[in-house]
Chains A and B, each alone.
Chain A
C-alpha cells in the first residue's frame, strides 16, 4: 500500500491527476469560504431588508421615540434601549470585577492541583443553556431574591437613585443577575488566559522588589494585560446585549421607561423574542427587524473592536518576547 510510484516514473496521466486533486480540494474548500462570505452578506441584507419599511417610516427617530403601540402603528425603541443598557451595564458592573478576580485566582492563587478542575467548572457555567438558566431564574432565583435580597438593598441603599422602589419577582434586576451568570464565565476564562501569559520574569521581579502578591497583580499583571481585559469585557457586553431568551423569561416584558432597577421592563432582544412571531401589523414586524439591525450593528462593532485590540496586544506581546 505504501509503495507509491516515484514521481519521475509516474505516468503523465498520474501527475495530471495529482494536480487535479489539488485543484479540486482547493476549489471545494475555497467554496466553503465563499459560502461563509455569502452567508454574512445575506444575513446583513436580509435583516436590513425586513427592517426597511420601519427605517423609512421612522428613520433615526426610532431610537429616541418611546411609543411602542401596535394599535396606532407607532414604534420607537428608546425604552428598550434603556432596558438593554441598564441590564447589560448592570451585569458588567458585577461581572467584570468578579471575573478578573476569578482570573487572578485561577492563574496565581489557586493551588496547582485545583486549577484545571476549577477552570473547567467555571467554563461549564457557560455551557448551561440560557433557557434553563431563565427557567431557574424565574422560578427559583426570582422569588428568593425578591424576598431576601431586594428588600435589604432597598432598605439600606434606597437613597441611591434607581435603587428605590419595591421588590419584584420579575424585572431588570433579575435580568442583570441572569446576564451576570452568563457573562462571568466568558470574561473569567479570557482573563485567566491573559494572566497566565504574563511573562513570569515580570511577576518575579515585582515580588523580588518586595511587593505583596496583590500589589504585583495590581501594578504589574493588570497593566500588562489591560487592553486584553478591555477586549474580554467588550465580548461580554456583546453577549449580554444580544441575549434574548433568558432575559425574556425573567424581565417581565413591560412597556415602560424604567424608574428603578427592580420593576419589569424590556430589552431590544427580548422584545424581538416576545413579539416577532405574532405581530399585529407588518410595520410592527419591520420595527422588530429594525431592533435586530440595531443589535447586529452593536454586535459587529463590539466584536471587531475587541478583535482589533486583541490583535494589537498579540503584536505587543510578541515584540516583548
Chain B
C-alpha cells in the first residue's frame, strides 16, 4: 500500500512549529543587533556622564598632575598637545608612504607583486599593536630614550595599512576609461597618474587619512614603550617624550585616586568625541566620494 497521506492537521502543526521557530530566531537576531547598538549607547552615555563634570576650562589650560591632592587634579593640556603632535608625525610618515604604495600596487606592479603587497599589508594590519611597541622600542628607544619621534614612528606603522589599503581601493575604483583617455591624449603614465587619477581619487585619500588619524589618536599600546614616562609640562620638542591622551586615560584607570579617575574620564570623553566624530565624518565622505567616482564611469 502506498504511504498514507499525512493528515492535514499534522502538516499544519508542523508548519506552525517551523514558523514559530523562525520567528524566535529572527527575534534573537534582532536582539543581537539591539544589544550591539545598546552597548555603543551605554559606553557613550556613561563616558559622557562621568566625563562632563570635569570638562571645564582647567582641563584644557592646565597640565597633568600627579600630586594626588584633592582639587589639584590638573588638566590634560600637555596630553592634548602631545597627542596632536605625535599623530601629526605619524600621519606625515604614513600618508605619503601609504599613497605611494597604493599607486605602485594599482598602477605599476605586476599582478603577482600587487597581491604580495596586499597580503603583506593585511598581515601588518593584524600584528598586535603591543608587538609594534616592542619593535619600535628596540629599534629607536634603546640608546636614545623615549621620544615623540619614536611614538610617531610606532603609530605610523599602525596607520600604514589603513592608508594604503583604502587608497588602493579608491584607485582601483577609478575607471580604466579615464586612464586610457589620459594616455590617448599623449600624456605619460606618470602624468596620467598625477593629473587624472589622483585628483579623481583625492576624496577617498582624504577619507583614509581621517580614519587613520582617528585610529592613531586613540592607540595606547604603541605609546607605552616609546613615550611611557612623560613630564607634567607642555613639551613641543619631538626628541623628548610627550604626554598623550590615551596614556593619561590608561594611568587614570589603573590609579586608585578618584582625582586621577576623574581626569581620565574627562580625557576619555574628549578622545571618544574626537574619534567617533572623525570616524563618522570619514565614513560619510567615503560614501560620497565613492558615489562620485562611480558616476564618472
CB < 8 Å: which of B31, B36, B186, B249 contacts A125? B36
Contacts of B39 in A (CB 8 A): 125, 181
Contacts of A299 in B (CB 8 A): 123, 126-128, 131
Contacts of A160 in B (CB 8 A): none
Which of A37, A139, A184 has the most CB atoms of chain B within a 10 A radius of its CB?
A: A139
A61 interfacial by beta-carbon distance below 8 Å:
no
Question: Once the chains bind, are A29 and B100 in contact (CB under 8 Å)?
Answer: yes
Question: Once the chains bind, are A102 and B126 in contact (CB under 8 Å)?
Answer: no
Contacts of A22 in B (CB 8 A): 188-190
Question: Once the chains bind, are A33 and B101 in contact (CB under 8 Å)?
Answer: yes
Contact A214/B25 with A121-B40, A135-B268, A184-B36 known, Cβ cut-off 8 Å: yes
B191 interfacial by beta-carbon distance below 8 Å:
yes
Contacts of A37 in B (CB 8 A): 120
A296–B134 Cα distance when bound, in Å, is: 11
Question: Once the chains bind, are B224 and A295 in contact (CB under 8 Å)?
Answer: no
Contacts of A277 in B (CB 8 A): 224-225, 228-229
Contacts of A7 in B (CB 8 A): 186
B90: shortest Cβ distance to chain A, in Å? 14
A295–B139 Cα distance when bound, in Å, is: 19
A35: shortest Cβ distance to chain B, in Å? 6
Number of A interface residues in the complex (CB < 8 A): 92
- Chain B, interface size category, equals 35 or more
Contacts of A242 in B (CB 8 A): 126-131
A246–B172 Cα distance when bound, in Å, is: 36
Q: What 1/0 flags go to A186-216 for Cβ under 8 Å of B?
A: 0010000000000000000000000011110
B205 interfacial by beta-carbon distance below 8 Å:
no
Question: Once the chains bind, are B119 and A304 in contact (CB under 8 Å)?
Answer: yes
Question: Once the chains bind, are A132 and B190 in contact (CB under 8 Å)?
Answer: no
Question: Once the chains bind, are B40 and A124 in contact (CB under 8 Å)?
Answer: yes
Question: Once the chains bind, are B126 and A132 in contact (CB under 8 Å)?
Answer: no
Contact A122/B37 with A132-B268, A303-B122 known, Cβ cut-off 8 Å: yes
A245 interfacial by beta-carbon distance below 8 Å:
yes
Q: What 1/0 flags go to B226-238 for Cβ under 8 Å of A?
A: 0011000000000
A119–B246 Cα distance when bound, in Å, is: 27
Question: Once the chains bind, are B32 and A46 in contact (CB under 8 Å)?
Answer: no
A39–B217 Cα distance when bound, in Å, is: 22
A73-81, A103-111, A151-159 - interface stretch: A103-111
B269: shortest Cβ distance to chain A, in Å? 9
A81: shortest Cβ distance to chain B, in Å? 15
Which A286-307 residues have C-beta < 8 A from chain B? 288-289, 292, 295-296, 299-300, 302-304, 307
B1-9, B69-77, B103-111, B173-181 - interface stretch: B103-111
The 7 closest A-B pairs by CB, nearest first: A242-B128, A129-B218, A29-B104, A212-B22, A32-B100, A101-B32, A244-B130
- Apart from A132-B43, A241-B128, what are 8 other A-B pairs with CB-CB below 8 Å? A18-B188, A22-B188, A102-B29, A109-B26, A124-B276, A136-B47, A242-B128, A272-B130
Interface residues of B (CB under 8 A from A): 18-19, 21-22, 25-26, 28-33, 35-37, 39-40, 43, 46-47, 50, 97, 100-101, 103-105, 107-109, 113, 117, 119-124, 126-135, 137-139, 157, 160, 164, 185-191, 193-194, 214, 217-221, 224-225, 228-229, 246, 249-250, 252-254, 261, 264-265, 268, 271-272, 275-276, 279-280, 283
Interface residues of A (CB under 8 A from B): 4, 6-7, 10, 18-19, 21-22, 24-26, 28-33, 35-37, 39-40, 42-43, 46-47, 49-50, 97-99, 101-102, 104-106, 109-110, 118, 120-125, 127-136, 138-140, 181, 184-185, 188, 212-215, 217, 235, 238-239, 241-245, 249, 269, 272-273, 276-277, 288-289, 292, 295-296, 299-300, 302-304, 307
- The contact sample of 26 A-B pairs, CB cut-off 8 A, is A18-B188, A18-B191, A30-B109, A36-B97, A36-B101, A36-B121, A36-B124, A105-B30, A109-B29, A124-B280, A125-B40, A127-B276, A128-B40, A130-B221, A131-B268, A135-B249, A135-B264, A138-B253, A188-B36, A212-B18, A214-B21, A244-B130, A273-B221, A276-B134, A277-B228, A303-B122
